[in-house]
Amino acid sequence: MKKRGKFNSKLGIILASAGSAVGLGNVWRFPTEVGANGGAAFILIYVGCVILLGLPLMVAEFIIGRHTHCNTVDAYRKLAPRSPWVFQGYLGVFTSWFILCYYSVVSGWTLKYLVAAVTDQVTTLSDSTAYFSAFTSSPWMPALYMVIVMLMCHWVIIRGVQNGIERYSKLMMPMLLLIIAVLVVCSFSMPGSEEGLLFLLKPDFSKIDSGVILSAMGQAFFSLSIAMGCLCTYASYFTDDAKLMKTAGSVALIDTTVAIMSGFIIFPAVFSVPDVAPNAGPGLVFITLPNVFQMTFEHVPLVGWFFAVMFYLLLLLAALTSMMSIHEPTTAFLLEHFDLSRRTATRIVTLSCIAVGLLCSLSFGPLKDVRFLFGMTFFDFFDFVSAKIFLPVGGIIISLFVGWKLDRQLVRNEITNHGTLNAHLFPVFIFLIRWIAPIAICLIFLNELGAF
């Protein structure tokens, strides 16, 4: 048996897990959803979902991982031998591999925009929409950037848990948090930013309907990295004295703060530029924001340049720490299940993701006419299947597994570290994971399949 990796410190545990959670979902998807769904009212509902749904599921994954100290597949096999529950282990491994294939494409775009920002291109664009579509539809450039970010992630993962994931999370996460703080100040100090602030602080409850509530739940889910095996795999490297509830609380707090701060960065900046309409959709950070940076650049060049560089650096850091967590479940599975070396396991995952990622990347250009089910391109297909089918299914199975199948005493022991921590919240956790989580996720799932 090879010696398993382990995180070295509590801070490492929190920063690595927060690195997984804080990703493109926070800086890119969250502000878009807020913009489309009524500003502050959406944020209130989102926070409710994080507390009632996200936290219990995160703790559930932590329990599975930390109790078994195994990769996701073997974890289920150990907890429920010779039963169909192991399907969830395989689903987790497969889903992470699948998500990495397209997440790396968008991560590659963030690197491209960082390079463009440093070299003053973002701040001097004449047409940001044309620039974005010319870049994404060209055959080689996006693919090249995708390969580069995959190799960066590879470089960290191959170094293992302590020297790779933990060390780089400890380096990148504080940088990320610092950049967020600097950007919030930058954004607030722009003239006319009050309108954006108002939009984020004044709830418009008239926009709230069942669809909005369900989107908030879906967003909470994606943002906290739940239901895929990422957190379960990371938890398998936790030390025995790590406090699962407290860790989950800190991770959720960091993740939600970063998401809300991203809103505070983006909206005041967008509203401060009169002719730039907030673009609800993927264009927000790649099309609308370059216009904002450009206007700022025209007034004070250095500030515009600095704002753009810091923003895309933030996006890249967020994307990389999440990619690491999406890479690790498959790597850990190959490494332990087939007894490969970490080097070989990491190579297999990186190369296979690059191969399939190329298809996703090319689907904005030369392969844009290759369509699947419902006329989706490769990229859309990967996004749809993983985020809208595998994740909710995984969430339902995990909550049922921990809520109904696992031995209650085992769950209690993990939560209280064998009775050394207080158990006040234990009944609340059990109630949420048994009843609220599975029912709520079923609703999200049906909604996303268009049943509402």
Smallest separation (angstroms) from ligand TRP to the CB of 53: 14
> Is the CB of 230 or the CB of 309 nearer to ligand TRP?
230
Rounded Cα distance between 240 and 44, Å, is 35
Closest CA relative to residue 221, chosen from 49, 400, 20 = 49
Smallest separation (angstroms) from ligand TRP to the CB of 371: 25
> Is the CB of 7 or the CB of 98 nearer to ligand TRP?
98
String of DSSP letters for 271-338: HHSTT-----STHIIIIIHHHHHHHHHHH-HHHHHHHHHHHHHHHHHHHHHHHHHHHHHHHHHHHHHT
> Is the CB of 131 or the CB of 222 nearer to ligand TRP?
222
> Is the CB of 25 or the CB of 304 nearer to ligand TRP?
25
> Is the CB of 187 or the CB of 322 nearer to ligand TRP?
322
Q: What is the DSSP letter of 127?
A: -
Smallest separation (angstroms) from ligand TRP to the CB of 24: 4
Smallest separation (angstroms) from ligand TRP to the CB of 202: 26
Smallest separation (angstroms) from ligand TRP to the CB of 328: 10
For residue 109, CA distances in Å to 175, 177, 286, 308 come to 20, 21, 9, 14
Residues that bind ligand TRP (CB under 6 A): 20-21, 23-26, 222-223, 225, 228, 230, 322, 325-326, 391
Rounded Cα distance between 257 and 16, Å, is 16
> Is the CB of 26 or the CB of 215 nearer to ligand TRP?
26
Rounded Cα distance between 213 and 211, Å, is 5
> Is the CB of 99 or the CB of 289 nearer to ligand TRP?
99
> Is the CB of 86 or the CB of 319 nearer to ligand TRP?
319
Smallest separation (angstroms) from ligand TRP to the CB of 254: 12
Rounded Cα distance between 101 and 34, Å, is 27
With tokens 């890479």, the residue in question is 327
CB proximity list for 246: less than 8 A, separation 6 or greater: none
What sign does the dihedral 249-252-257-258 (CA atoms) show? positive
Rounded Cα distance between 322 and 433, Å, is 25
Rounded Cα distance between 308 and 279, Å, is 18
> Is the CB of 190 or the CB of 444 nearer to ligand TRP?
444
What sign does the dihedral 206-207-212-216 (CA atoms) show? negative
> Is the CB of 128 or the CB of 262 nearer to ligand TRP?
262
For residue 375, CA distances in Å to 91, 147, 173, 381 come to 25, 27, 39, 9
Smallest separation (angstroms) from ligand TRP to the CB of 138: 25
- CA atoms within 13 Å, Cβ hemisphere of 189: 11
Smallest separation (angstroms) from ligand TRP to the CB of 20: 5
Smallest separation (angstroms) from ligand TRP to the CB of 230: 4
Answer whether 87's CB lies under 8 Å from 317's CB.
Answer: no
Smallest separation (angstroms) from ligand TRP to the CB of 114: 17
- For residue 24, the one-letter residue type is L
> Is the CB of 47 or the CB of 141 nearer to ligand TRP?
47
With tokens 């701060």, the residue in question is 261
Cα–Cα–Cα angle for 9, 313, 380, rounded to 5 degrees: 95
